[in-house]
Chains A and B, each alone.
Chain A
Protein backbone atom coordinates (compact mmCIF):
# COMPACT_ATOMS: atom_id res chain seq x y z
CA UNK A 1 0.00 0.00 0.00
CA UNK A 2 1.15 3.56 -0.65
CA UNK A 3 2.51 5.05 2.58
CA UNK A 4 0.16 8.03 2.39
CA UNK A 5 -2.86 5.75 2.08
CA UNK A 6 -1.59 3.58 4.88
CA UNK A 7 -1.12 6.56 7.21
CA UNK A 8 -4.66 7.70 6.44
CA UNK A 9 -6.05 4.28 7.39
CA UNK A 10 -5.34 4.92 11.07
CA UNK A 11 -6.78 7.54 13.38
CA UNK A 12 -3.45 9.03 14.55
CA UNK A 13 -1.90 8.69 11.09
CA UNK A 14 -4.65 10.83 9.58
CA UNK A 15 -3.46 13.84 11.54
CA UNK A 16 -0.42 14.09 9.27
CA UNK A 17 -2.63 16.15 6.97
CA UNK A 18 -2.91 18.88 9.64
CA UNK A 19 0.83 19.65 9.45
CA UNK A 20 1.71 22.99 7.84
CA UNK A 21 5.48 22.52 8.16
CA UNK A 22 6.13 25.22 10.77
CA UNK A 23 9.04 23.29 12.31
CA UNK A 24 8.04 23.73 15.98
CA UNK A 25 8.37 19.97 16.41
CA UNK A 26 11.99 19.98 15.30
CA UNK A 27 12.72 23.12 17.33
CA UNK A 28 11.92 21.36 20.62
CA UNK A 29 13.15 17.89 19.73
CA UNK A 30 16.06 16.63 21.88
CA UNK A 31 17.17 14.07 19.29
CA UNK A 32 17.26 16.73 16.57
CA UNK A 33 19.37 19.00 18.76
CA UNK A 34 21.92 16.28 19.43
CA UNK A 35 22.02 14.57 16.06
CA UNK A 36 21.93 16.57 12.85
CA UNK A 37 20.72 13.51 10.95
CA UNK A 38 17.42 13.67 12.79
CA UNK A 39 14.55 16.04 12.02
CA UNK A 40 10.90 15.11 12.73
CA UNK A 41 9.47 17.78 10.44
CA UNK A 42 11.50 16.32 7.59
CA UNK A 43 10.20 12.82 8.41
CA UNK A 44 6.60 14.00 8.06
CA UNK A 45 7.37 16.08 5.00
CA UNK A 46 9.12 13.21 3.27
CA UNK A 47 6.20 10.90 4.01
CA UNK A 48 3.69 13.36 2.52
CA UNK A 49 5.73 14.50 -0.48
CA UNK A 50 7.68 11.39 -1.41
CA UNK A 51 5.67 8.67 0.33
CA UNK A 52 8.87 7.36 1.88
CA UNK A 53 10.12 6.13 5.25
CA UNK A 54 13.83 6.05 6.06
CA UNK A 55 15.96 4.64 8.88
CA UNK A 56 16.03 7.93 10.80
CA UNK A 57 12.60 7.11 12.30
CA UNK A 58 14.47 4.93 14.82
CA UNK A 59 16.19 7.99 16.35
CA UNK A 60 13.01 9.27 18.01
CA UNK A 61 13.01 8.97 21.83
CA UNK A 62 9.21 8.96 21.91
CA UNK A 63 9.32 11.87 24.38
CA UNK A 64 6.20 13.57 22.96
CA UNK A 65 7.65 17.07 23.20
CA UNK A 66 6.78 17.64 19.52
CA UNK A 67 3.24 16.36 19.87
CA UNK A 68 2.57 18.48 22.97
CA UNK A 69 3.83 21.62 21.21
CA UNK A 70 2.46 21.19 17.70
CA UNK A 71 0.09 24.11 16.98
CA UNK A 72 -2.01 22.00 14.59
CA UNK A 73 -2.33 18.96 16.91
CA UNK A 74 -0.54 16.70 14.47
CA UNK A 75 0.28 13.52 16.41
CA UNK A 76 3.94 13.66 15.48
CA UNK A 77 5.27 11.09 17.94
CA UNK A 78 2.39 8.67 17.39
CA UNK A 79 2.84 8.99 13.63
CA UNK A 80 6.52 8.14 13.96
CA UNK A 81 5.60 5.08 16.07
CA UNK A 82 3.11 4.09 13.38
CA UNK A 83 5.82 4.52 10.71
CA UNK A 84 8.02 2.17 12.72
CA UNK A 85 5.32 -0.49 12.58
CA UNK A 86 4.99 0.03 8.83
CA UNK A 87 8.79 -0.23 8.49
CA UNK A 88 8.79 -3.52 10.43
CA UNK A 89 6.00 -4.92 8.26
CA UNK A 90 8.08 -4.23 5.16
CA UNK A 91 11.63 -4.82 6.33
CA UNK A 92 11.35 -6.88 9.50
CA UNK A 93 12.46 -6.09 13.04
CA UNK A 94 15.68 -4.02 13.11
CA UNK A 95 18.73 -5.86 14.45
CA UNK A 96 19.03 -3.68 17.55
CA UNK A 97 15.52 -4.60 18.77
CA UNK A 98 15.79 -8.32 18.04
CA UNK A 99 17.50 -9.27 21.34
CA UNK A 100 14.61 -7.76 23.32
CA UNK A 101 12.06 -9.68 21.31
CA UNK A 102 14.03 -12.91 21.62
CA UNK A 103 14.15 -12.46 25.40
CA UNK A 104 10.41 -11.87 25.48
CA UNK A 105 9.81 -15.05 23.52
CA UNK A 106 12.10 -17.02 25.81
CA UNK A 107 11.05 -15.80 29.24
CA UNK A 108 8.35 -13.12 29.08
CA UNK A 109 10.71 -10.31 30.08
CA UNK A 110 12.78 -7.99 27.85
CA UNK A 111 15.87 -9.05 29.82
CA UNK A 112 16.68 -12.52 31.14
CA UNK A 113 15.72 -12.51 34.80
CA UNK A 114 17.37 -15.47 36.46
CA UNK A 115 19.05 -16.70 39.58
CA UNK A 116 21.33 -13.68 40.04
CA UNK A 117 18.44 -11.21 39.97
CA UNK A 118 16.18 -13.36 42.12
CA UNK A 119 18.92 -13.90 44.73
CA UNK A 120 19.25 -10.14 45.02
CA UNK A 121 15.49 -9.82 45.36
CA UNK A 122 15.49 -12.45 48.08
CA UNK A 123 18.14 -10.50 50.01
CA UNK A 124 15.90 -7.45 49.72
CA UNK A 125 12.90 -9.40 51.03
CA UNK A 126 11.17 -9.32 47.64
CA UNK A 127 9.38 -12.21 45.90
CA UNK A 128 11.22 -13.96 43.03
CA UNK A 129 10.01 -13.20 39.50
CA UNK A 130 8.62 -16.07 37.45
CA UNK A 131 9.15 -16.57 33.75
CA UNK A 132 6.10 -17.32 31.64
CA UNK A 133 5.35 -18.77 28.21
CA UNK A 134 2.07 -16.89 27.74
CA UNK A 135 3.90 -13.98 26.15
CA UNK A 136 5.60 -16.31 23.66
CA UNK A 137 2.17 -17.68 22.74
CA UNK A 138 0.74 -14.18 22.29
CA UNK A 139 3.69 -13.17 20.10
CA UNK A 140 3.26 -16.31 17.98
CA UNK A 141 -0.48 -15.88 17.65
CA UNK A 142 -0.17 -12.23 16.57
CA UNK A 143 2.85 -12.79 14.34
CA UNK A 144 4.97 -10.18 16.09
CA UNK A 145 8.09 -12.22 16.76
CA UNK A 146 11.57 -12.77 15.39
CA UNK A 147 11.22 -15.29 12.58
Chain B
Protein backbone atom coordinates (compact mmCIF):
# COMPACT_ATOMS: atom_id res chain seq x y z
CA UNK B 1 0.00 0.00 0.00
CA UNK B 2 1.19 3.47 -0.84
CA UNK B 3 1.29 5.30 2.46
CA UNK B 4 3.22 8.54 2.05
CA UNK B 5 1.96 11.70 0.38
CA UNK B 6 2.79 15.36 0.15
CA UNK B 7 -0.26 17.06 1.60
CA UNK B 8 -1.83 20.11 -0.05
CA UNK B 9 -4.77 21.92 1.55
CA UNK B 10 -5.16 25.00 -0.70
CA UNK B 11 -6.92 28.22 0.36
CA UNK B 12 -10.48 27.39 1.44
CA UNK B 13 -9.43 24.93 4.14
CA UNK B 14 -7.12 27.18 6.18
CA UNK B 15 -9.53 30.08 5.68
CA UNK B 16 -12.82 28.42 6.51
CA UNK B 17 -12.57 24.66 7.01
CA UNK B 18 -9.56 23.67 9.10
CA UNK B 19 -11.82 21.03 10.67
CA UNK B 20 -11.48 19.11 7.38
CA UNK B 21 -7.69 19.24 7.73
CA UNK B 22 -7.85 18.18 11.37
CA UNK B 23 -10.16 15.21 10.73
CA UNK B 24 -8.10 14.08 7.72
CA UNK B 25 -4.94 14.01 9.83
CA UNK B 26 -6.62 11.96 12.55
CA UNK B 27 -7.89 9.45 10.02
CA UNK B 28 -4.54 9.27 8.22
CA UNK B 29 -2.80 8.52 11.51
CA UNK B 30 -5.15 5.60 12.20
CA UNK B 31 -4.61 4.23 8.71
CA UNK B 32 -0.84 4.58 8.89
CA UNK B 33 -0.70 7.20 6.13
CA UNK B 34 2.18 9.63 6.46
CA UNK B 35 1.40 13.18 5.32
CA UNK B 36 4.05 15.83 4.64
CA UNK B 37 2.71 19.37 5.12
CA UNK B 38 3.36 22.11 2.58
CA UNK B 39 2.59 25.20 4.71
CA UNK B 40 3.99 27.72 2.21
CA UNK B 41 2.37 26.22 -0.88
CA UNK B 42 -0.45 28.78 -1.12
CA UNK B 43 -2.99 28.51 -3.95
CA UNK B 44 -3.27 25.85 -6.69
CA UNK B 45 -4.00 28.41 -9.44
CA UNK B 46 -7.60 27.36 -10.09
CA UNK B 47 -9.05 30.83 -10.71
CA UNK B 48 -6.47 31.64 -13.32
CA UNK B 49 -7.95 28.92 -15.49
CA UNK B 50 -10.52 31.62 -16.25
CA UNK B 51 -8.05 34.48 -16.57
CA UNK B 52 -4.71 33.49 -18.02
CA UNK B 53 -3.62 29.98 -18.85
CA UNK B 54 0.10 30.56 -18.41
CA UNK B 55 -0.45 31.97 -14.91
CA UNK B 56 -2.68 29.01 -14.06
CA UNK B 57 -0.26 26.37 -15.32
CA UNK B 58 2.73 28.02 -13.66
CA UNK B 59 1.00 28.32 -10.31
CA UNK B 60 -0.10 24.69 -10.50
CA UNK B 61 3.38 23.55 -11.59
CA UNK B 62 4.87 25.41 -8.64
CA UNK B 63 2.78 23.37 -6.20
CA UNK B 64 3.51 20.14 -8.11
CA UNK B 65 7.26 20.89 -7.97
CA UNK B 66 7.06 21.05 -4.16
CA UNK B 67 5.76 17.48 -4.02
CA UNK B 68 8.34 16.42 -6.62
CA UNK B 69 11.11 17.78 -4.41
CA UNK B 70 9.91 15.45 -1.66
CA UNK B 71 9.56 12.58 -4.18
CA UNK B 72 5.97 12.06 -3.08
CA UNK B 73 2.61 11.92 -4.82
CA UNK B 74 0.40 14.84 -3.93
CA UNK B 75 -2.78 14.36 -1.95
CA UNK B 76 -5.39 17.12 -2.20
CA UNK B 77 -8.59 17.60 -0.20
CA UNK B 78 -10.47 20.02 -2.45
CA UNK B 79 -12.30 19.19 -5.68
CA UNK B 80 -11.19 22.54 -7.10
CA UNK B 81 -7.53 21.81 -6.34
CA UNK B 82 -8.00 18.30 -7.73
CA UNK B 83 -9.33 19.58 -11.06
CA UNK B 84 -6.73 22.28 -11.34
CA UNK B 85 -3.63 20.30 -10.29
CA UNK B 86 -4.57 16.96 -11.84
CA UNK B 87 -5.28 18.54 -15.22
CA UNK B 88 -2.27 20.85 -15.20
CA UNK B 89 -0.03 17.88 -14.36
CA UNK B 90 -1.50 15.86 -17.22
CA UNK B 91 -1.29 18.71 -19.70
CA UNK B 92 2.32 19.52 -18.82
CA UNK B 93 3.41 15.88 -18.92
CA UNK B 94 1.91 15.58 -22.41
CA UNK B 95 3.27 18.88 -23.79
CA UNK B 96 7.05 19.26 -23.48
CA UNK B 97 6.96 22.70 -25.13
CA UNK B 98 4.41 23.98 -22.66
CA UNK B 99 6.47 22.46 -19.85
CA UNK B 100 9.53 24.39 -21.02
CA UNK B 101 7.56 27.63 -21.06
CA UNK B 102 6.26 26.99 -17.56
CA UNK B 103 9.76 26.24 -16.36
CA UNK B 104 10.93 29.60 -17.71
CA UNK B 105 8.35 31.19 -15.42
CA UNK B 106 9.25 28.98 -12.47
CA UNK B 107 12.94 29.87 -12.84
CA UNK B 108 11.88 33.29 -11.57
CA UNK B 109 11.11 31.71 -8.18
CA UNK B 110 13.94 29.17 -8.28
CA UNK B 111 11.81 26.15 -9.03
CA UNK B 112 11.47 23.50 -11.71
CA UNK B 113 8.59 21.25 -12.71
CA UNK B 114 9.67 17.79 -13.86
CA UNK B 115 6.48 15.78 -14.20
CA UNK B 116 7.41 12.93 -11.88
CA UNK B 117 4.47 12.64 -9.49
CA UNK B 118 0.70 12.00 -9.48
CA UNK B 119 -2.13 14.02 -7.97
CA UNK B 120 -4.75 12.21 -5.91
CA UNK B 121 -7.82 13.44 -4.09
CA UNK B 122 -8.35 12.16 -0.53
CA UNK B 123 -11.48 10.24 -1.59
CA UNK B 124 -9.48 8.56 -4.33
CA UNK B 125 -6.61 7.74 -1.97
CA UNK B 126 -9.05 6.15 0.49
CA UNK B 127 -10.94 4.25 -2.18
CA UNK B 128 -8.07 3.16 -4.45
CA UNK B 129 -4.83 3.22 -2.46
CA UNK B 130 -6.06 2.27 1.01
CA UNK B 131 -9.18 0.35 -0.02
CA UNK B 132 -12.47 -0.34 1.74
CA UNK B 133 -11.22 -3.55 3.41
CA UNK B 134 -8.30 -1.91 5.18
CA UNK B 135 -10.59 0.86 6.35
CA UNK B 136 -13.07 -1.70 7.65
CA UNK B 137 -10.37 -3.15 9.92
CA UNK B 138 -10.19 0.18 11.76
CA UNK B 139 -13.92 0.65 12.39
CA UNK B 140 -14.58 0.24 16.12
CA UNK B 141 -17.73 2.34 16.47
CA UNK B 142 -20.04 1.46 13.56
CA UNK B 143 -22.44 4.35 12.99
CA UNK B 144 -25.50 2.18 12.51
CA UNK B 145 -27.96 4.95 13.47
CA UNK B 146 -26.77 7.35 10.80
CA UNK B 147 -28.47 7.97 7.46
CA UNK B 148 -26.09 10.03 5.34
CA UNK B 149 -26.35 11.50 1.82
CA UNK B 150 -23.21 11.58 -0.35
CA UNK B 151 -22.24 14.71 -2.26
CA UNK B 152 -19.47 14.00 -4.77
CA UNK B 153 -19.26 17.45 -6.33
CA UNK B 154 -17.83 18.03 -9.79
CA UNK B 155 -14.05 18.10 -10.09
CA UNK B 156 -13.45 14.89 -8.15
CA UNK B 157 -14.84 13.02 -11.18
CA UNK B 158 -15.03 15.41 -14.11
CA UNK B 159 -14.00 15.91 -16.84
CA UNK B 160 -14.01 12.10 -16.67
CA UNK B 161 -12.06 11.76 -19.90
CA UNK B 162 -9.07 13.17 -18.04
CA UNK B 163 -9.59 12.39 -14.37
CA UNK B 164 -10.69 8.79 -14.91
CA UNK B 165 -11.92 8.06 -11.41
CA UNK B 166 -15.18 6.26 -10.62
CA UNK B 167 -18.25 6.71 -12.88
CA UNK B 168 -19.15 10.37 -13.49
CA UNK B 169 -22.86 9.56 -13.99
CA UNK B 170 -23.32 6.94 -11.25
CA UNK B 171 -20.37 7.19 -8.87
CA UNK B 172 -20.06 4.73 -5.98
CA UNK B 173 -16.78 5.54 -4.18
CA UNK B 174 -18.12 7.96 -1.58
CA UNK B 175 -21.23 5.82 -1.01
CA UNK B 176 -19.00 2.81 -0.30
CA UNK B 177 -16.83 4.93 1.98
CA UNK B 178 -19.94 6.02 3.88
CA UNK B 179 -21.23 2.46 4.16
CA UNK B 180 -17.96 1.13 5.59
CA UNK B 181 -18.54 3.42 8.60
CA UNK B 182 -21.73 1.44 9.32
CA UNK B 183 -23.94 4.33 8.24
CA UNK B 184 -26.59 3.98 5.56
CA UNK B 185 -25.92 5.92 2.37
CA UNK B 186 -29.26 7.42 1.38
CA UNK B 187 -30.05 8.01 -2.27
CA UNK B 188 -31.67 11.27 -3.25
CA UNK B 189 -32.89 13.12 -6.31
CA UNK B 190 -30.35 14.78 -8.62
CA UNK B 191 -27.39 13.47 -6.65
CA UNK B 192 -24.80 14.68 -9.15
CA UNK B 193 -25.90 18.31 -8.97
CA UNK B 194 -23.23 20.95 -8.41
CA UNK B 195 -23.11 23.09 -5.23
CA UNK B 196 -23.12 26.32 -7.23
CA UNK B 197 -20.02 27.69 -5.48
CA UNK B 198 -18.27 28.65 -8.68
CA UNK B 199 -20.88 31.27 -9.61
CA UNK B 200 -21.28 32.67 -6.10
CA UNK B 201 -19.27 35.80 -6.86
CA UNK B 202 -20.89 36.39 -10.26
CA UNK B 203 -24.50 35.60 -9.36
CA UNK B 204 -25.24 34.79 -5.71
CA UNK B 205 -28.94 34.26 -6.38
CA UNK B 206 -28.38 31.39 -8.82
CA UNK B 207 -25.65 29.92 -6.59
CA UNK B 208 -27.81 29.88 -3.46
CA UNK B 209 -30.79 28.49 -5.31
CA UNK B 210 -28.58 25.66 -6.55
CA UNK B 211 -27.32 25.03 -3.02
CA UNK B 212 -30.88 25.08 -1.68
CA UNK B 213 -32.18 22.62 -4.28
CA UNK B 214 -29.81 19.91 -3.15
CA UNK B 215 -30.47 20.53 0.54
CA UNK B 216 -34.21 20.20 -0.16
CA UNK B 217 -33.64 16.90 -1.99
CA UNK B 218 -31.46 15.57 0.83
CA UNK B 219 -34.09 16.53 3.37
CA UNK B 220 -36.88 14.94 1.34
CA UNK B 221 -34.91 11.67 1.24
CA UNK B 222 -34.85 11.60 5.06
CA UNK B 223 -31.08 11.84 5.47
CA UNK B 224 -29.65 13.03 8.81
CA UNK B 225 -26.72 14.73 7.15
CA UNK B 226 -24.86 15.50 3.95
CA UNK B 227 -21.28 14.26 3.48
CA UNK B 228 -18.79 16.23 1.37
CA UNK B 229 -15.25 15.67 0.13
CA UNK B 230 -14.61 19.28 -0.84
CA UNK B 231 -14.22 22.31 1.43
CA UNK B 232 -15.85 24.65 -1.05
CA UNK B 233 -18.97 22.50 -1.46
CA UNK B 234 -18.98 22.18 2.32
CA UNK B 235 -18.95 25.96 2.78
CA UNK B 236 -21.84 26.30 0.33
CA UNK B 237 -24.00 23.72 2.11
CA UNK B 238 -23.00 24.42 5.71
CA UNK B 239 -21.74 27.98 6.30
CA UNK B 240 -23.98 29.32 3.52
CA UNK B 241 -27.01 27.21 4.37
CA UNK B 242 -28.63 30.23 6.06
CA UNK B 243 -28.12 32.34 2.94
CA UNK B 244 -29.62 29.57 0.82
CA UNK B 245 -32.60 29.43 3.19
CA UNK B 246 -33.08 33.18 2.88
CA UNK B 247 -32.93 32.95 -0.92
CA UNK B 248 -35.40 30.06 -1.23
CA UNK B 249 -37.63 30.82 1.78
CA UNK B 250 -37.25 27.22 2.99
CA UNK B 251 -35.71 25.68 6.10
CA UNK B 252 -33.28 22.81 5.71
CA UNK B 253 -31.38 22.25 9.01
CA UNK B 254 -29.12 19.67 7.36
CA UNK B 255 -25.75 19.17 9.09
CA UNK B 256 -22.87 18.85 6.63
CA UNK B 257 -19.83 16.78 7.58
CA UNK B 258 -16.49 16.49 5.86
CA UNK B 259 -16.15 12.79 5.02
CA UNK B 260 -13.15 12.19 7.33
CA UNK B 261 -15.18 13.60 10.25
CA UNK B 262 -17.67 10.76 9.73
CA UNK B 263 -14.95 8.15 9.25
CA UNK B 264 -13.05 9.35 12.33
CA UNK B 265 -16.16 8.97 14.50
CA UNK B 266 -16.56 5.41 13.23
CA UNK B 267 -12.91 4.77 14.13
CA UNK B 268 -13.72 5.78 17.69
CA UNK B 269 -11.86 9.10 17.55
CA UNK B 270 -13.21 11.63 20.07
CA UNK B 271 -15.52 14.21 18.46
CA UNK B 272 -13.58 16.89 20.39
CA UNK B 273 -10.61 16.24 18.15
CA UNK B 274 -12.56 16.70 14.92
CA UNK B 275 -13.20 20.42 14.85
CA UNK B 276 -17.00 20.30 15.08
CA UNK B 277 -16.99 23.83 16.47
CA UNK B 278 -16.36 24.90 12.88
CA UNK B 279 -19.48 23.08 11.56
CA UNK B 280 -22.23 25.70 11.45
CA UNK B 281 -25.23 23.37 11.43
CA UNK B 282 -24.45 21.10 14.37
CA UNK B 283 -25.21 17.41 13.96
CA UNK B 284 -27.02 15.57 16.74
CA UNK B 285 -24.01 13.94 18.40
CA UNK B 286 -26.20 11.25 19.98
CA UNK B 287 -26.50 9.71 16.50
CA UNK B 288 -22.86 8.66 16.69
CA UNK B 289 -22.99 6.88 20.05
CA UNK B 290 -22.83 3.12 20.41
CA UNK B 291 -26.20 1.59 21.18
Which A positions have Cβ atoms within 8 angstroms of B? 30-31, 34-35, 38, 58-65, 67-68, 75, 77-78, 81, 84-85, 88, 93-94, 96-97, 100-101, 104, 107-111, 113, 117-118, 120-121, 124-132, 134-135, 137-139, 141-145
Could you say which of B12, B19, B43, B51 has the most chain A C-beta atoms within 10 Å of its C-beta? B51
Is B40 a contact of A88 with CB atoms below 8 Å? no
Does B39 have its Cβ within 8 Å of any Cβ on chain A?
yes
Cα distance, A97 to B12, chains bound together (Å): 16
23 inter-chain pairs at a CB distance below 8 angstroms, sorted by A residue, are A30-B213, A31-B210, A34-B209, A35-B205, A60-B199, A61-B194, A61-B196, A61-B210, A63-B158, A67-B159, A84-B50, A88-B50, A88-B51, A96-B201, A110-B47, A113-B11, A113-B15, A118-B14, A121-B21, A126-B21, A132-B40, A138-B55, A138-B106
Is B194 a contact of A138 with CB atoms below 8 Å? no
Distance in angstroms from B91 CB to nearest chain A CB is 10
Q: What chain A residues lie within 8 Å of B22 (beta carbons)? A: 124-126
Cα distance, A94 to B43, chains bound together (Å): 20
Distance in angstroms from B152 CB to nearest chain A CB is 11
Is B52 a contact of A62 with CB atoms below 8 Å? no
Chain B interface residue number, banded: 35 or more
Q: What chain A residues lie within 8 Å of B275 (beta carbons)? A: 124
Q: What chain A residues lie within 8 Å of B207 (beta carbons)? A: 61
Distance in angstroms from A42 CB to nearest chain B CB is 16
In the complex, number of A-B residue pairs with CB atoms less than 8 Å apart: 176
Does B222 have its Cβ within 8 Å of any Cβ on chain A?
no
Contacting B206 at CB < 8 Å: which of A35, A63, A120? Answer: A35
Q: What chain B residues lie within 8 Å of A63 (beta carbons)? A: 154, 158, 193-194, 198
Interface residues of B in 184-242 (CB under 8 A from A): 192-194, 196-199, 201-203, 205-207, 209-210, 213
Is A59 a contact of B168 with CB atoms below 8 Å? no
Distance in angstroms from B193 CB to nearest chain A CB is 6
Contacting A111 at CB < 8 Å: which of B11, B40, B109, B213? Answer: B11
Is A135 a contact of B42 with CB atoms below 8 Å? yes
If A63-B154, A65-B192 touch, does A124 touch B14 (CB 8 Å cutoff)? no
Q: What chain B residues lie within 8 Å of A96 (beta carbons)? A: 201-202
Is A34 a contact of B210 with CB atoms below 8 Å? yes
Interface residues of B in 163-178 (CB under 8 A from A): 168-169
Which 8 residue pairs are nearest across A and B when measured between Cβ atoms? Answer: A144-B55, A108-B42, A144-B52, A63-B194, A64-B158, A134-B109, A130-B40, A111-B15
Interface residues of B in 99-129 (CB under 8 A from A): 105-106, 108-109, 111
Could you give, for residues 54-84 of chain B, a 1 whenever the CB lies within 8 Å of some chain A CB and a 0 otherwise?
Answer: 1110110010000000000000000000000
Is A124 a contact of B59 with CB atoms below 8 Å? no
If A84-B50, A130-B40 touch, does A142 touch B55 (CB 8 Å cutoff)? yes
Could you say which of B21, B55, B106, B169 has the most chain A C-beta atoms within 10 Å of its C-beta? B55
Q: What chain B residues lie within 8 Å of A84 (beta carbons)? A: 50-51
Contacting A120 at CB < 8 Å: which of B18, B55, B58, B62? Answer: B18
Distance in angstroms from A9 CB to nearest chain B CB is 12
If A124-B22, A125-B22 touch, does A139 touch B55 (CB 8 Å cutoff)? yes
Q: What chain B residues lie within 8 Å of A135 (beta carbons)? A: 42-43, 59, 62
Does B49 have its Cβ within 8 Å of any Cβ on chain A?
yes
